[in-house]
Structures are given as structure tokens and as C-alpha cells.
Amino acid sequence: GRNVGVLQEFQRKRAHRLLILCVLLFLSCFGPVSSLDLCDECHCKSTTVTCLHKNLMSIPQPLPANITTLFLTGNNISHLNESSFPVRLEQLTELYLSGNQMEQVDRGVFNNLPNLHSLDLSNNRILSFSRDAIPENNKLRVLNLSQSLYNVSYTDISNLLKHSFPKLSNLDLSNNDLKLFPDGISSLSDLATLDMRNNSVVSINNVTFRSQVLQRLDLRDNALKDIPNGTLADLSQIPGLWMYLTDNPWYCDCKMKDMVIWLQKFDFVADKANMTCFEPSELRNAPLLQVDQTKLQCNYSGNMKGVMETSYVFLGMVLALIGVIFLLVLYLNRKGIKRWMYNIRDACRDHMEGYHYRYEINSDPRLANLSLNSDV
Ligand SMILES: *[C@@H]1O[C@H](CO)[C@@H](O)[C@H](O)[C@H]1NC(C)=O
Ligand SMILES: *[C@@H]1O[C@H](CO)[C@@H](O)[C@H](O)[C@H]1NC(C)=O
Ligand SMILES: *[C@@H]1O[C@H](CO)[C@@H](O)[C@H](O)[C@H]1NC(C)=O
Ligand SMILES: *[C@@H]1O[C@H](CO)[C@@H](O)[C@H](O)[C@H]1NC(C)=O
Ligand SMILES: *[C@@H]1O[C@H](CO)[C@@H](O)[C@H](O)[C@H]1NC(C)=O
Ligand SMILES: *[C@@H]1O[C@H](CO)[C@@H](O)[C@H](O)[C@H]1NC(C)=O
Ligand SMILES: *[C@@H]1O[C@H](CO)[C@@H](O)[C@H](O)[C@H]1NC(C)=O
Ligand SMILES: *[C@@H]1O[C@H](CO)[C@@H](O)[C@H](O)[C@H]1NC(C)=O
Ligand SMILES: *[C@@H]1O[C@H](CO)[C@@H](O)[C@H](O)[C@H]1NC(C)=O
Ligand SMILES: *[C@@H]1O[C@H](CO)[C@@H](O)[C@H](O)[C@H]1NC(C)=O
């Protein structure tokens, strides 16, 4: 009986130990210890987690509840959806997702990050960005989409900007090959910095900014040919604005005169002294503000199509004129012409008669020897 009791005691202790081991194992897998695992793989300092170039395919889980800043630059997170941030993270304010080959940002991704303040999605290749990715009442102030919009439609980007960012202050849209100025930008009322450098924007003709706190507008390296003085007048009303406009193909014809006058009058175009003409070719690289006003001509120089069209029309008109003059001369001179024709007819007749006569002489064999010099 005693032996059995000892054995039971022994087995009970073993079971106890096993249970403790299991609990420990469980805790290490799913408990709070796991954020230590995250910090083994990544770098944690205070409330900042840094996971650079780890080839992560999704947002690491779980994130510490007190996280404020998350760097995930240079991973391979191509798709964000509702399960990317499954737990509410009240204190997360900065999120860096640059260089992730990101293609898709679905609806509801950032619903659990109510205090997100800075979002970096630069250097990605975003094909679709849901208009509902970001909750309406968000606090986003910095959005970096530099070199990251790849084939996102103009309507989508416009709608996204129009509806999603009530507090946005700094928007980086540089290096995106945008051809049109996204409509939604003008409705951002807190916008202070807009970087549109190195796109292909052809016109900002109808752009009126709602923001009166705009401080920096960078439009260098675009495809602008001119800016109408109305747009410049609007921009000059924004106090404290600095604008950058070099490296655009400015078209120095007569329409440029208004813009030059405006540029001379105001100083808000910070790099105006460095702006140069691109067309016409005689003025290429000439500093815009130093071009003699009389050289800003609209004679379609440098526009061969225009020249060809004008010259064809001109040629047609000249030919028509010549035709009319010819007919007029014929009409006025009709009597003279008649007389002239009679004269010709008479002359012909005389000539023919001469022939006839000569023929008769020639046919007379007795006069054959004389015929050689008879014409004179
Ligand atoms: C944040 O939470 C982790 C555990 O989740 C803890 O180790 C760390 O000390 C906390 N940091 C601060 C600054 O409270
Ligand atoms: C990134 O993930 C995709 C699959 O989503 C994979 O095909 C590709 O090889 C990954 N890239 C790197 C550098 O690991
Ligand atoms: C989110 O994406 C992951 C793969 O990237 C997928 O497994 C999961 O089902 C998706 N969740 C939702 C809600 O679509
Ligand atoms: C956006 O990201 C690019 C490249 O990652 C960086 O050069 C640029 O400074 C960032 N812009 C802002 C406003 O932080
Ligand atoms: C870009 O999107 C359009 C439709 O929006 C599609 O027809 C085209 O194939 C796409 N191009 C690339 C390179 O994905
Ligand atoms: C300009 O943007 C294109 C993408 O649209 C990029 O490939 C190129 O490197 C950028 N150029 C500079 C000088 O940053
Ligand atoms: C600007 O707006 C006017 C009318 O509001 C329109 O006729 C014109 O085509 C627009 N110009 C551009 C370049 O969008
Ligand atoms: C623009 O220039 C034209 C011609 O110089 C002038 O008639 C017009 O009033 C100007 N518009 C503004 C808004 O200054
Ligand atoms: C104008 O160009 C010169 C030489 O490239 C440069 O040093 C200067 O900073 C530029 N000025 C502005 C206002 O961009
Ligand atoms: C355009 O006209 C101006 C003045 O009439 C002249 O100096 C200039 O050479 C012309 N341009 C071309 C390309 O003919």
C-alpha cells in the first residue's frame, strides 16, 4: 500500500510539472512575452519598433500596445487589408512603409490607428488605394506618396484626397508621372506643403487652393508651358507662399507676356530668376525674365504645322486671285482678243495660201531649180 502511495505522489508531481511547463510554453507562444520575440527579430527602443529589410510579407503581430512609431521600410508587404492592424493601437502616430512593393491598400486598413499622424508609403507601386482605407475623422498630417502611385486613376487619387484628409498639412506626391493636377488637392484646407516635383503636370490653369496656409508649392520638373495671370493672381493672395517652377518647358510666345509681367511684379516664385524658355528654339534656355518683350511673338515660329497650314491657305488665295485677274483681263479685252484672233486667222490663211502657191510652183517641174531660194 505504501509503495503505491509513493508512486501516486510521484506521478502527481510529474503531472504538476508538466502542467507548469505547458503553461509556460503557452505563455511564450501567445502571451505578452511574444512582443519580446518581435523585439528579438526587430529593434525595439522605448515605444519605437524598427524592422528594416527583413523581407516581412505582412505587418508583424502582435505589436506592443504602447507602440508609437513603427518602421517597416524595405520589406515585402504588398497588400494591406482590414486584418493588417487587428488590434486598436491608440498611441501609434507614425508608420513608415516605404519600399515595400505595395500594390493594394484596401478599405478599413487604418481604422484601428485613430491617432495616426504621419504615413509614409513612398517608393511603392500602388495600383489601387481604397477611398475608405482611412477613416473619415483621421488626424493624418503628413502623407508621403512619393514615387508610389503606379497606374492609380486620376479620379481615384482625386477622390481619395478630397474625402480622406481633413487635417493634412504636408503632402508629398513627387516622382509620380501625374499628368493632371489632382482635383482633390485644392480642397485640403490645412495644406502647408505640397511637393509635386518631377511629375508631368501640363496645366494648373483652373486650380484654386482652399488652403490659406500654403507655404511651399513645388512644381519643378513638370510639363507646364505657361500659367495664366488669373491663376497667378489667386496664388499671390496666399500670404507666405513660396512657389518653385524651374525645369518646366516654358513657351515663350506672346501669351507669356502677362506671366512675365506678373513674375516681375511679385516675389513669391522663389526660383523665378532660374526659369528658362524651352520654345521657340531660338529662345531655348534663355532666362525667362531677361527675354526682350518684343521677342515674345506669336508668329507660329517653331510650329511647323501652323506654318504649313498658313502657307497652304495663302497659296490657295493667291491662285484664286490670279484666276480672277486672268478672267477679268479676258473679259475687258474681249474685243481686242477677237481682233487678235481674226488677225491670227488671216495670218494663217495668208500663210496657207503662200504654201498653196509654193506647192504649185514646186510641183511644176520646169521651175524645180528655182524653188530652193523661193521662200524669201
Ligand atoms: C511598452 O510595453 C512593453 C511591453 O509590451 C514594455 O516592455 C515596455 O517597457 C513599454 N514601454 C514603455 C515606454 O512603457
Ligand atoms: C515578395 O513577395 C512576393 C510574393 O508576394 C514574392 O514573389 C517575391 O519573391 C518577394 N520578394 C522578395 C525580395 O522576397
Ligand atoms: C487580408 O490579407 C491576407 C493575406 O494578405 C488574407 O489572408 C486575409 O484573409 C485578408 N483579410 C481580409 C479581411 O480580407
Ligand atoms: C517622402 O519619401 C521620400 C523617399 O522615401 C523622401 O525623400 C522624402 O523626403 C519624403 N517626404 C516627406 C515629406 O517626408
Ligand atoms: C493601368 O490601368 C488601366 C485601366 O485603369 C489598364 O488598362 C492598364 O492595363 C493598366 N496598366 C498597367 C501597366 O497596369
Ligand atoms: C522622376 O520620376 C520617375 C517616376 O515617375 C522616376 O523614375 C525618376 O527616377 C524620377 N527622377 C528623379 C530625378 O528623381
Ligand atoms: C478652366 O475652366 C473653364 C470654365 O470653368 C473651362 O472652360 C476651361 O476649359 C478650363 N481649363 C482647363 C485647362 O481646365
Ligand atoms: C491678365 O492680363 C490681361 C492682359 O494683360 C489683362 O487684361 C487682365 O486683366 C489680366 N488679368 C489679371 C487677373 O490680372
Ligand atoms: C538657381 O540656380 C543656381 C545655379 O544652378 C542655384 O545655385 C540657385 O540655388 C538657384 N536658385 C534658386 C532660387 O533655386
Ligand atoms: C518671329 O517674329 C519675330 C519678330 O517679328 C522675329 O524676330 C523672329 O525671328 C520670328 N521667328 C521666327 C522663327 O521666324
* Contact assessment for residue 248 and residue 222, using Cβ atoms and an 8 Å cutoff: yes
The pLDDT of residue 207: 87
| The dihedral formed by the CA atoms of 224, 226, 227 and 229, expressed in degrees to the nearest 10 | 180
What is the atom index within ligand 1 of the atom nearest the CA of 66?
1
111 vs 293, higher pLDDT? 111
33-168 and 177-320 have identical folds: yes
User: What separation in Å is there between the alpha carbon of 81 and the centre of ligand 3?
Assistant: 6
Print burial letters for 156-176: b (CB count within 10 Å at least 16), e (below 16): bbbbbbbebbeebbbbbbbbb
Give me the pLDDT at residue 363, please. 55
- What is the Cα–Cα distance from 185 to 167, expressed in whole angstroms? 12
11 close to ligand 1 (CB < 6 Angstrom): no
- Residue nearest to ligand 3 atom 9, measured at CA: 83
Span from the CA of 254 to the centroid of ligand 8 (angstroms): 13
CATH number of 177-320: 3.80.10.10
Using 50, 70 and 90 to split pLDDT, how confident is the model at 303?
A: low
CATH ID of 33-168, from 3.80.10.10, 3.20.20.70, 3.10.510.20, 3.40.50.10540: 3.80.10.10
**80-89: average pLDDT:** 94
Overall average pLDDT of the 106-114 stretch? 94
Q: Is the CB of 124 under 6 A from ligand 4?
A: no
Closest CA to 115 of 56, 70, 157, 145: 70
The pLDDT of residue 111 is: 94
Helix (H) or strand (E) holding 237: none
CA 44 – CA 35 distance, rounded (Å): 10
Q: Is the CB of 279 under 6 A from ligand 8?
A: no
pLDDT exceeds 70 at position 72: yes
Which residue type sits at 121? L
> Please, which pLDDT band fits residue 329 given cuts at 50, 70 and 90?
confident
Comparing 74-83, 163-172, 223-232, 322-331, which segment has the lowest mean pLDDT? 322-331
Which range of 23-32, 109-118, 248-257, 275-284 scores highest in mean pLDDT? It is 109-118
Q: Give residue 246's identity as a one-letter amino acid code.
A: T
Does pLDDT of 376 surpass 80? Answer: no
Ligand 10 nearest-atom number relative to CA 280: 13
In this predicted structure, what is the pLDDT of residue 342? 82
Report whether pLDDT(119) > 90. yes
Judge whether residue 18 has pLDDT over 90: no
User: What atom of ligand 7 comes closest to residue 203's alpha carbon?
Assistant: 13
Show the cell assigned to 75: 520589406
Local structure of 43: helix, strand or coil: strand
Q: Residue 30's pLDDT is what?
A: 46
Q: Residue range 4-16: average pLDDT?
A: 61
Burial of 153 (0-12, 13-18, 19+ CB in 10 A): exposed
CB count in 10 Å sphere of residue 216: 16
Does pTM surpass 0.85? no
- Mean pLDDT for 113-129 is 95
Proximal ligand: closest to the CA of 287: 9
Closest to 100 (Cα-Cα) out of 84, 86, 79: 79
Pocket flag, ligand 6, residue 198 (CB < 6 Å) = yes
Closest CA to 249 of 302, 292, 208, 294: 302
Q: Which atom of ligand 3 is nearest to the CA of 58?
A: 5
Average pLDDT, integer, range 118-135: 93
Checking if the pLDDT of 21 tops 90, the result is: no
Rounded-to-integer distance, Cα 192 and Cα 94, Å: 19
207 alpha carbon, closest ligand: 7
Give the number of the atom of ligand 1 that is nearest the alpha carbon of residue 32: 5
104 Cα–ligand 2 center, Å = 15
Q: Is the CB of 274 under 6 A from ligand 9?
A: yes
- Look over the chain and give the mean of its residue pLDDT values, rounded to a whole number: 84
Residue 370 in this model has a pLDDT that exceeds 60: no
- Residue ID of nearest Cα to ligand 9 atom 4: 274
How far apart (Å, rounded) are the C-alpha atoms in residues 323 and 330?
11
Q: Where are the domains of the chain?
A: 33-168, 177-320
Higher model confidence: residue 330 or residue 241? 241
Q: What is the pLDDT of residues 240-287, one digit of tens each?
A: 999 999 999 999 988 898 899 999 988 999 999 999 999 888 889 999
Q: Which pLDDT score, from 0 to 100, does residue 179 have?
A: 92
Contact (Cβ atoms closer than 8 angstroms) between residue 135 and residue 116 = no
Cβ of residue 179 lying under 6 Å from some atom of ligand 6? no
pLDDT band, residue 23 (cuts 50/70/90): very low
Q: In this structure, which residue's CA is closest to atom 7 in ligand 2? A: 76
Report the nearest-CA residue for atom 11 of ligand 3.
83
Tell me the C-alpha distance between 230 and 23, whole Å: 73
Q: Which ligand lies nearest to the CA atom of residue 179 in the structure?
A: 6
Which residue minimizes the CA distance to atom 4 of ligand 8? 258
d(CA 91, CA 73) in angstroms, rounded, equals 20
* Digit-coded pLDDT (tens) for 187-229: 899 999 999 999 999 999 888 898 999 999 999 999 999 998 8
Q: Which atom of ligand 6 is nearest to the CA of 175?
A: 2
pLDDT of residue 325: 87
What pLDDT is recorded for position 362? 57
